[in-house]
Structure formats: C-alpha cells, structure tokens
Structure 1
Amino acid sequence: MKELHIISFNYPYPPSYGGIIDVYYKIKALSDLGIKIHLHCFIDQIPSTIDREIKEITENVFFYRKKKNPLLYFLPTPFAAAIRNSDTFLKNLEKNKAPILFEGLQTTHIIRFLRDSDHKLYLRYHNNEREYYKGLSLSEKNIFKKVIYKIESLKYSGYQKKLLKKFEAVFCLSEKEYNEVETYSGNARLIHIFHGNESVKVLDRKGKYFLFHGDLTTADNKRALNETIDLFKTLPQYKLVVASDRATEDIKRKISTVENISLTPIQTTENLYRLLEDAHANILISYQNSGTKVKLFNTLYNSRFVIINENITDDPFLMNLCLYGADMNEIRRQIITSAEKEFHETEKRKEILEKNHSDKAKAEEMVKIIFKN
C-alpha cells in the first residue's frame, strides 16, 4: 500500500478558509485513491478529540504546538517557518520512510534535519511567500505589523530560493507560480486547487442578497471588505451580507452603522453553502496577485453571479465565468447590472468546471508524480 506523510500548517478541519480547504480536500481525494495518509499538524492548541471526518481519511494524526517564543523573529529563518518545529515531529517522520508532502513553505523548517536518503520530498506551493507578505505589508495599516510583514517578505526571498531545488516536485496552484518555480528550479507541476465540489448546483434564477465572505483578520480581506462596505453605503437599495467567523471589533462596529449591511457567522460548511445558495451575487476582491483564490471555486459551484477584480484568478477560463471590475467604480457598475439580471450560466459552468477542475483527476496526477517508481 502507498503511504504519504502530509505536513499541514494547521489542523485541516473544518475546511473553512483559504489553504486549509486545499489541504483537507487533497487529503480526502488521495485517501479515496487508497493512499495511507500520516497527517502532521502544527497548531496553537492541541484538540482533545480528532474529528470523525479526519479520522476517516487518515491513518495517523500527529499534533505539534507552534512555538510562542518572540525571539524567533530575530532568526534569519522566516518566523512562520521557525515556529513550526519539534523534536517529536522529526522522530515521527523517521518511523516511516514514506514520501513527505509539505503544505506550504512555512512547514519546511524540518528539512535541514532530514537525511537526504530518508524521504522523497514534495512541496505544495500555496503562495510565493515573498510576494504574499509583501502584499500584506502594503495592505496593513498598523505600522508595527507592516514592518513585521516586510521583514518576513525579505526573509522568504532567500529562504524559498534556497529550498525550492530540494524537492522532487513543487505542486503549484496557478500558472503564475508555476512559471516562477519552473524558471528557477525546473521542478514545477501545475495542480490546481482542491476544493471539494463535485457538481455545479442548479439554482433559481434570482438570489436574495450580495455576499462577501472570508477570514476578516487578514489585512488583504479587511482592506477588500472596507472598500466593499464603502461601496454599499452608496447603494442602499441593495443588501450586503458579510459572512465570517473571524471579524475584528472595528469591522463589527463599522458594519453595525450601515443599515443595508449585516454580519453573520459561518460556523459550518453547511451554513456556508446555504449562504452561497441564497446569494444573488458574490463580491470577491483581493489586492494580492497570488493565483486563483480557493473561495472562487465555492462560489462558482454553489452560487450565482461572481464579481471579481484581477487578483482573484489568472485562469482565463475561470475569469470568463465571472463579472470583472478593474476598479471599485467598475465593481459598482457590475453590482447594479447583475442585480437586474436573472442567472442562466449553470450549463456553461458545468462544462468548464466539471471537466477541468475535479479533485479526483488532480489527486490521480499527484499520485503518478509522487509514486512514479
């Protein structure tokens, strides 16, 4: 039986945000193909129980607490990588010589302690971390955080160049990152996001509101939401629902002052799908150019219109399924236009999404690469 270590930057359940969605549904798809998964998770607090959904798709689950030492900021290693380190982690890896799939560069600090012959190493390249932290620095208003993100970006610049050549293959999410990695280290493979959706939902032609959803503790999402709130202040005839489990107090206060905007928790995947199914259009905005965002797939499979700016995807086929705005004035026009439309794009979406973006096909491609011998 084929076995694989997967090193996750967090516990991948529930799959409610960003890269964790990709991690969870990748594990599920690989497990469905018969791969025995040894899952290693770096987390803040070790849970008392493991969710049934994780137990069913893994052979073992190991937890390691992220280090809290602020002095790690002063190491040349990026802080996000330095805090994900453990002697127990190394011992658990050495018990089984299966290949290792690292979920993001922040999980790779252990590589320096592995003997070259022990494991075949693979990387899921979630972000160009140098660009990601540079983008966070530009979006962040807090001066202290802005400086921290800038330093982390500079650290990753050297860190990722040094590491990328150590992997048998680097699985990239987008064309942009594939081209960057392939040019530098020649080991890139393009494997799009795992998202868990199997079929495009057939919905009524009209929804009830506009929807913005995401993790509102990140600088990029906070900036995007603030822009969207300011936009809907000028469109009092339309209702905006903001869905998040991680809204800061300043955002809660700002939303409470606008009559046509409401904040609702997500809590479960089922609630997220219900929110998507009732939405007439979704607002997806980013100020970071880092390939296709995971939330785009959830909206395209489970909702109606999707209004995006240029940083949500670099895939021309996916972009063709959305309404595009180059700036907030164009986003505003798309909101007004879509509000009057009925949705008739289901068959077009099925043709593109179900043919080109199934999780099973992506998992089969990864298995061919990892277990090629």
Structure 2
Amino acid sequence: MKEIHLISFNYPYPPSYGGIIDVYYKVKALSDLGIKIHLHCFVDRIPEKIDREIKNITENVFFYKKKKNPLLYFSRVPFAAAIRNSENLLKNLTSIKAPILFEGLQTSNSISRLKDKGYKLYLRYHNNETEYYKGLSSSEKNIFKKIIYTIESFKYAAYQKRTLKEFEGVFCLSEKEYNEVDSYSKNAHLIHIFHGNELVKRLNKKGDYFLFHGDLSVSDNKKALEETISLFQNLPQYKLIIASDRAGKDLKKKISSIVNISLVPIETTENLHRLFENAHANILLSYQNSGTKVKLFNALYNSRFVIINENITDDRTLMNLCYWGCTTQEIREQIIATATKDYTENEIRSEVLEKKYSDNSKAVEMVKVIFKD
C-alpha cells in the first residue's frame, strides 16, 4: 500500500479557514484513494483527543508543540518556520520510509537534514510568503506588526530562494505562483485548493440579501469589509449581511447604526451554508494576490451570484463564473446589476466545477506526481 508523511502547520480539524481547509480535504481525498497518511501537526497546545474525523482518514497522528521563544524573530529563518522545528519530528519521519509532503514553507525547517537521508520531498506551496507578508504589512495599521511583517517578507525572499529547488515537486495553488516557481526551479505543478465541496447546490432564481463572510481577525478581511460597508452605506436599498464569529466591539457598534446592514455569527458550517443558500449575491474582496481563495469555491458551490475583485482568483475559468470589478465603482455597478437579475447558472457551474475542480481529480494528480503512476 502507498503511504506518505504529511506535515501540517496546524491540526487540520475543524477545517475552518483557508489553509487548514486545504490540508483537511487533501488528507481526506488522498485517504479515499487508499493512501496511508502519517499526519504530523505543529500546534500551540496538544489536543486531549484526536477527532474521529481525523482518525478515520489517517494511519497515525503525531503532535509537536510550536516553540514560544521570541528570540526566534532574530533568526535568519522566517519566524513561522523557526518555531516549527522538532527533533521528535525527525525521529518519527525517519522511522517510516515514505515520501514527505510539507504543508507550506513554514513546515520545511528540517528539509536539509531529510534530503541527506534520501527522502523524496514535496511542498504544498500555500502562498508566495514574500508577497503574503508584504500584503499583511500594507494592510496592517499597528506600526509594530507592520515592521515585523516587512522583516518577515525579506526573510522569506531569501528562504524561498534557498529552499524551493530542494523539493522533488512543488504543488502550487494558483497560476501566478505556478509560473513563478516554474521559472525558478522547474519543479512546479498546478493543483488548485482542496475545498470539500462535491455537488453544486441547485437554487431558485432569487435570494434575500447580499452576503459578506470572513475571519475579521485578518487584516485583509478587515480592509475588504470596510470597503463593502462603505459601498452599502451608499446603496441603502440593498440589504447586506456580514457573517463572522470575530467581530470587535467597534465594528458591532458601527453596524448597529446602519439600517440596511446586519451582523450575524457563523458558529457552524450548517449556519454558513444556510446563509449561502438564502443569499442573492456574495461580496468577495481581497488586497492580496495569493491565489484562489477557498471562500470563492464555497460561494460558487453553495450560493448564487458572486462578485469579486481581481485578487480573489487569477483562474480565468473561475473568473468567468463570477461578476468582477477592479475598482470600487465597478464593484458598485456589479452589485446594482445582480440585484435585479435572476440566477440561472446551476447547470453551467455544475459542468465546470464538478468536473474540473473536484477534490478527487486533484488528489489523483498529486498521486501521479508523488508515486510516478
């Protein structure tokens, strides 16, 4: 039986945000193909028990505590990689001879020691971390965090150069990152994000509101929400629902004073899917060009119209399923255009998404690369 080590930057359950959603549904899809998964997780706290959903799709699970030493900010290795380093990880990896898949550059601190032992090493390239941290710095208002993000961006520029060539293969999320890696190290493969959706939901022609959803502890999402609120303040005839479990007091106060905007908690996947089902259109904005966002797949599979800006995806096929604009004015025009439009895109989405973007098809491609099938 084929087996693989998978090193995750966090425990992938519940799959509640972009990177971890990709990890969890990738493990599930590979397991469904009969691959034995040895899962290694870096965590802040080791869980008291392993969730049944993880047990059912893994051969075994190992945990390693992230280091807490603030002096690691002064390491030449990026901080996120420096804190994910463990001698026990090396012991567990070398006890079972199998290919190793690193989830993100932040898990790859041990690569040089493993390369010497003849292991086949692969990377899931979640972000161009240099650009990601540059984007965080640009969106961040706290001056201390802004400086840290800028320094980390410079560190990753050097780290990526040293590290990317060491892998047998690099699985990229977006065409932009695929082209970057391919031009540099010639080991890139384009494998879109694993998202967990299987069938496009069949919906009637009209929904009840516009929907914005996201983690509001992330500076990029905060900035996107500010623009969305500004748009709907000037479009009082349209109702906007903001769905998030991480809204601060200031935001709650601001929203409470705007008649056509309301804030609701997500709490469960079922609640989020209910919000998708009743939405007429979704507003997805980003200021970081870091590949296709998982929230786009969730909206396309489970809701009606999707309005995006150019940073949500660089995939032309997916862009053609959306309504998009590069400026605030263009986004405004798309809101007005979709508000009175009947949704009739069930068949088109089903044809495109279920064939080309299924988790199974992506897992099959990864298996071909890793095991040279």
Range that drifts further, 239-248 or 349-358 = 239-248
CA contact (8 A) 1:7 1:101 kept: yes
Alignment of 1:137-286 (within 5 A): 137-286=137-286
Cα distance per residue 1:184-227 (max 9 Å; x no partner) = 00000111111111111101211111111111111111110111
Deviation of the 1:118 alpha carbon: 4.0
Q: Which amino acid aligns with 1:358?
A: S
Cα distance per residue 1:31-54 (max 9 Å; x no partner) = 000001111111222221221111
Give the TM-score, by structure 1 length. Answer: 0.97
Alignment of 1:334-373 (within 5 A): 334-372=334-372
Deviation of the 1:16 alpha carbon: 1.7
Range that drifts further, 301-310 or 247-256 = 247-256
- Relative to structure 1, the CA distance from residue 83 to residue 257 in structure 2 (aligned partners, 3 Å threshold; closer, same or farther) is farther
* Cα distance in 2 for residues equivalent to 1:284 and 1:318: 13
Partner of 1:25: 25
CA contact (8 A) 1:200 1:301 kept: yes
* Cα distance in 2 for residues equivalent to 1:280 and 1:183: 41
Cα distance per residue 1:320-354 (max 9 Å; x no partner) = 11011111111111112211111011111112111
Partner of 1:308: 308
Partner of 1:128: 128
* Cα distance in 1 for residues equivalent to 2:172 and 2:321: 22
CA contact (8 A) 1:201 1:301 kept: yes
* Cα distance in 2 for residues equivalent to 1:249 and 1:7: 37
Q: Which amino acid aligns with 1:187?
A: N
Range that drifts further, 115-124 or 128-137 = 115-124
Cα distance per residue 1:285-330 (max 9 Å; x no partner) = 0011112111111100110000000111111111011011111111
* Cα distance in 1 for residues equivalent to 2:67 and 2:261: 39
Runs of 4 or more off by more than 6 Å in structure 1? none
* Cα distance in 1 for residues equivalent to 2:212 and 2:49: 32
- Relative to structure 1, the CA distance from residue 115 to residue 162 in structure 2 (aligned partners, 3 Å threshold; closer, same or farther) is closer
Confirm whether residue 82 of structure 1 aligns to residue 82 of structure 2.
yes
CA contact (8 A) 1:14 1:268 kept: no
Q: Which amino acid aligns with 1:121?
A: L
Deviation of the 1:249 alpha carbon: 3.6
Q: Which amino acid aligns with 1:262?
A: S
Q: Which amino acid aligns with 2:341?
A: K
CA contact (8 A) 2:5 2:99 kept: yes
Q: Which amino acid aligns with 1:275?
A: L
Deviation of the 1:151 alpha carbon: 0.5
* Cα distance in 1 for residues equivalent to 2:120 and 2:205: 50
* Cα distance in 2 for residues equivalent to 1:115 and 1:334: 51
Range that drifts further, 141-150 or 266-275 = 266-275
* Cα distance in 2 for residues equivalent to 1:135 and 1:297: 22
The percent of aligned pairs where both chains have the same amino acid is 74
Cα distance per residue 1:82-135 (max 9 Å; x no partner) = 111122222211211211101111111121332523421000001000001011
Partner of 1:119: 119
Structure 1's unaligned 5+ residue stretches are none
CA contact (8 A) 1:242 1:261 kept: yes
CA contact (8 A) 1:281 1:303 kept: yes
CA contact (8 A) 2:101 2:121 kept: yes
Cα distance per residue 1:260-309 (max 9 Å; x no partner) = 22222222222221111111110000011112111111100110000000
Partner of 2:110: 110
Range that drifts further, 310-319 or 63-72 = 63-72
Give the TM-score, by structure 2 length. Answer: 0.97
* Cα distance in 2 for residues equivalent to 1:250 and 1:69: 32
Q: Which amino acid aligns with 1:254?
A: K
* Cα distance in 2 for residues equivalent to 1:128 and 1:345: 33
CA contact (8 A) 1:14 1:269 kept: no
Partner of 2:47: 47
Range that drifts further, 7-16 or 247-256 = 247-256
- Relative to structure 1, the CA distance from residue 29 to residue 255 in structure 2 (aligned partners, 3 Å threshold; closer, same or farther) is same
Deviation of the 1:12 alpha carbon: 1.1
* Cα distance in 2 for residues equivalent to 1:315 and 1:129: 20
* Cα distance in 2 for residues equivalent to 1:321 and 1:9: 32
Deviation of the 1:256 alpha carbon: 2.9
Q: Which amino acid aligns with 1:352?
A: V
Cα distance per residue 1:124-171 (max 9 Å; x no partner) = 001000001011111111111111111010000000110000000000
Deviation of the 1:19 alpha carbon: 1.2
SS state at 2:314 partner: coil
CA contact (8 A) 2:8 2:40 kept: yes
Q: Which amino acid aligns with 1:305?
A: F
* Cα distance in 2 for residues equivalent to 1:124 and 1:88: 22
Give the count of matched residue pairs: 373
Q: Which amino acid aligns with 2:35?
A: I
CA contact (8 A) 1:43 1:66 kept: yes
Confirm whether residue 91 of structure 1 aligns to residue 101 of structure 2.
no
